[in-house]
Structure 1
Amino acid sequence: MAGNSFGQIFKITTFGESHGEAIGVIIDGCPSNIEIDLDFIQNELDKRKPGQSKITTQRKESDTFQILSGIFEGKTTGTPIAIIIPNEDQKSKDYDHNKDTFRPSHADYTYQVKYGIRDHRGGGRSSARETAARVAAGAIAKLFLKQKGIDVLAHVSSVGNLDSPEIDFTSAEEFVTLRENNIVRCADAKTAEQMIELIDGIRKEGDTIGGKITCYIKNCPVGLGEPVFDKLHADLGKAMLSINAVHGFDYGSGFDGSTMRGSQHNDAFQSSESGKISTKTNFSGGVQGGISNGMDINMRIAFKPVATIMSNQNTVNKSGEAAEIKGKGRHDPCVVPRAVAIVEAMAALVIVDHYLRNQLYK
């Protein structure tokens, strides 16, 4: 199976299935002498792990990771880093009902046709369980970016039709504090209460709901991104669209920009007394010509409702015969609270890779 690697210089390859022995990641191209904070990596994984609140799946995984190589005396050595995360709470019998039946809007049918075989236990390789490996790799990428003064910050900005207002914050620490004060990970407390009530009500109905995550990249230097096909926003879009359940991506003015005139949308340049160049507005979302311009990068990622619902749905089996299926087991009623860590991880991986690629021009 191809398509398991991401990045060019800072490159990751993930492996493992939802109900296998473990999942994991190999990181190649990580620079040496990065200080590795094990507690930070575990904290990032804890934000994504299942069973953390009443509005997430009740699968119980500690997501305790093991680093097998690439770290010596608390620092990266420049050699490949191998990380594994054992699976501890598999209940494969919960998926016996869909061994020969295709779940609507899942990868069951496409995997079966493409490969002629599929791991029906939780979706196997197509399960969002795989994203824990990305979060582990992303945590190391974030540690690298912290040394450069670059912050990657995300929060749940909408659930269904509930939208958070723009968040006004002065530091990364303040933003994280606001976000982590509630189980839905929305940085606006009032909206968070409404989101939690909505998700819990949807859960009790046996249904699911989608939402959006807004991500900011603060203090990104000028010059990241490669024309023509490796534009920074294109790689960020690919990274986000590779996450399970993501159905949409935009940045800067996004789709709203299509309703504006050029005279409204253009970001006028200005220069400070110190000679630093910036723009008065940021409809470009921090990227112009596919290259970062030094302004904050902002983007929004839309997640569809989780496909497994606890009510009967019409489908077909492997023989093409009509069938009926109902969700069983432990599933998220809304994926976005746990996906915040995944979005941050993928954004960090893109920025680190392009940061290192940009050093080739120095």
Structure 2
Amino acid sequence: MAEAAGALHKTPLYDLHLELGGKMVPFAGYEMPVQFPPGVKKEHLHTRDRAGLFDVSHMGQLILRGDNAAAALEALVPVDIIGLPEGKQRYALFTNDQGGVLDDLMVTNQGDCLYLVVNAACKAQDIAHLEANLPGGIALERLDDRALVALQGPAAGEVMARLAPETAGMVFMDARRVTIDGADCFVSRSGYTGEDGFEISIPADRAEDLARQLLACEEVEPIGLGARDSLRLEAGLCLYGHDLDASTTPVEASLIWAISKERRADGVRPGGFPGADIVLEQVASKQVSRKRVGLLGQGRAPVREGAELFDAEGRAIGGVTSGTFGPSAEASIAMAYVSAEFAAPDTEVFAEVRGKRLPMRVCKMPFVPQRYHRG
């Protein structure tokens, strides 16, 4: 639901977006650029070919401090936080008592604290969830005075090394404190496009300077939310509120890999997170009524979120949660939840689009190869 324009927040890069011709739209309570003059398809392909700069300052940045901060956070996620090495980042999930996903987030061990990045639309609820469940002695700090940008694409490493040579030795999911032009930054070699890249947290008053330096590099172009969405979908990455929600367990969402082996029934610290009995039973039995799958269309017509799915006999079997025509995949692609019996690769299903039922095939994700820099 769109918010009143007067209620929307602006990121530190708002004026720069306008200067660059960004088309601004309401998103998660912020005015954000959905695209720039080249358009979504060209922005998408430029990121895959060279490097794109994304404003993700609407995301929530948080710090947890305290001697037992890792154990306290681990009690809220099915992930190994206690064993997370300093200078490393990990994908995590907040779960509820039914095993549903409240949000997905990134957690970094910065040595003296844990640094969290949470989704913009879930920021307030995540903070309330942490405040309600963290024990005494753990301090939660909001980093409202910092911006966050993502540099993504095969040229990202070369571009970053010009500004901060020490980033050249980083590999996927490494994180470190870096000084860029005198500004204290948190840099991780990560992102949400399936490409090599970096996310850079920087003081808000230095964000525009950094963005201009990056955009001055001939490889880099500004990229909006439209291409960010098509890039992450091609990479098989979930968007919270669409492909994940509080009624969906990690197993239903095909995110078993995000449940650390240390936290499983036969692990060294089994369970202990909200909904653990439900989630770990699903892990052990591999029995769920529905599964998140990838779908590949046989034609070029995009199949959008909300499209209902049917089997060959016309029985409803699920629905699409994300869908588009993938500029790099050169095909109609979608994520969907289907009844478990239809989740096997190569199963044919039919998506209803404007009264027609279009054939699609269940396929493995990602739809294009991921190219993270693993060294």
Normalised to the residue count of structure 1, the TM-score between the two structures is: 0.25
Structure richer in helix, relative to its length: 1
Structure richer in strand, relative to its length: 2
